[in-house]
Amino acid sequence: MKLFFVLLLSLLVLNAQSQKKLIGKVVVSGTEVPIASASIFLSNTSVGTVSKDDGSFIIDPLPTGRYNLVVAILGYETYVKEINSNQIPDFVLVPLTPKPTELQEVIVGNYDKNGWDKWGEFFMEMLIGKTPNALECKLLNKNAVKFRYNKKDNVLNAYADEPLKIVNNALGFDLDYKLLNFEYNYKSRIFYYQGYPLFKEKKPKNNRQQLRWLSNRNETYEGSLMHFMRSLYRNQLQKEGFELRKIVKNKTPNTSITVNGQHPLQEVDVLIDMPLNGDSIAFAIDSTTAGLQFKDYLQVVYKNRNMPSAFIRESRGVQIGTPITARLFMPDSDKVVAVLANGSYFQGKDILTMDYWAWSEKLSNLLPLDFRR
User: DSSP assignment of 182-208, as one string?
Assistant: EEEETTTTEEEEEEEEEEEEPPPSSHH
pLDDT, residue 256, reads 66
Q: Is residue 216 part of a domain?
A: no
Q: Is residue 336 one of the residues assigned to a domain? A: yes
Query: Each residue of 93-146: pLDDT tens digit?
Result: 999 999 886 445 545 557 888 999 999 999 999 999 999 999 999 999 999 999
The pLDDT assigned to 291 comes to: 94
Of 65, 99, 133, which one is at a domain's C-terminal end? 99
Q: Are residues 191 and 111 in the same domain?
A: yes
Q: For the chain, what is the mean pLDDT?
A: 89
Evaluate whether residue 212 is within a structural domain: no
Taking the CA atoms of 169, 172, 176 and 179 in sequence, report the sign of the dihedral they define. Answer: negative
Nearest to 129 by CA among 370, 373, 353: 353
Task: Check residue 350 and give its pLDDT.
Answer: 82
178 and 255 part of one domain: no
For residue 12, how many other CB atoms are within 10 A of its CB?
Answer: 10
Query: Same domain for 92 and 141?
Result: no
pLDDT per position as a tens digit, 283-312: 999 988 999 999 989 999 999 999 999 999
User: Is the same domain home to 322 and 293?
Assistant: yes
Rounded CA gap, 250 and 246, in Å? 13
Q: Which residues pair with 330 in a beta bridge?
A: none
Residue 282 lies in a domain: yes
For residues 88 and 140, membership in a common domain is answered with: no
Look at residues 99, 127, 149 and tell me which one is the last residue of a structural domain. 99
Quote the pLDDT of residue 157.
96
What pLDDT, on the 0 to 100 scale, is given for residue 266?
Answer: 67
Are 237 and 191 in the same domain? no
> Of 167, 201, 235, which closes a domain?
201
Identify whether 305 is part of a domain: yes
DSSP state of 319: P
Report the range out of 72-76, 236-240, 249-253 with the highest average pLDDT: 236-240
The answer to whether residue 369 sits within a structural domain is: no
Compute the average pLDDT of residues 17-40: 92
Q: 233 and 328 share a domain?
A: yes
Residues 43 and 150 in one domain: no
Summarize the confidence of residues 199-208 as an average pLDDT. Answer: 97
Is residue 153 pLDDT above 70, yes or no? yes
What range does the domain containing 133 cover? 103-201
In a domain, 243, yes or no: yes
Q: Residue 212's pLDDT band (boundaries 50, 70, 90)?
A: very high
Minimum mean pLDDT range among 10-14, 40-44, 81-85, 244-248: 10-14
Residue 131 in any domain: the answer is: yes
- The CATH number of residue 48's host domain is 2.60.40.1120
**82 plus 127 within the same structural domain:** no
Nearest to 343 by CA among 311, 316, 373: 373
CB 356 within 8 A of CB 224: no
Same domain, 234 and 357: yes
Count of positions (residues) in the chain: 373
pLDDT of residue 345: 86
Mean pLDDT, rounded, for 187-216:
96
The reply to whether 355 and 265 lie within a common domain is yes
Q: What is the DSSP letter of 133?
A: G
The reply to whether 229 and 186 lie within a common domain is no
Task: Name the nearest CA neighbour of 85 among 262, 328, 341.
Answer: 341
pLDDT of residue 316: 86
| Number of domains comprising the chain | 3
Cα three-residue angle 270-254-271, rounded to 5 degrees: 5
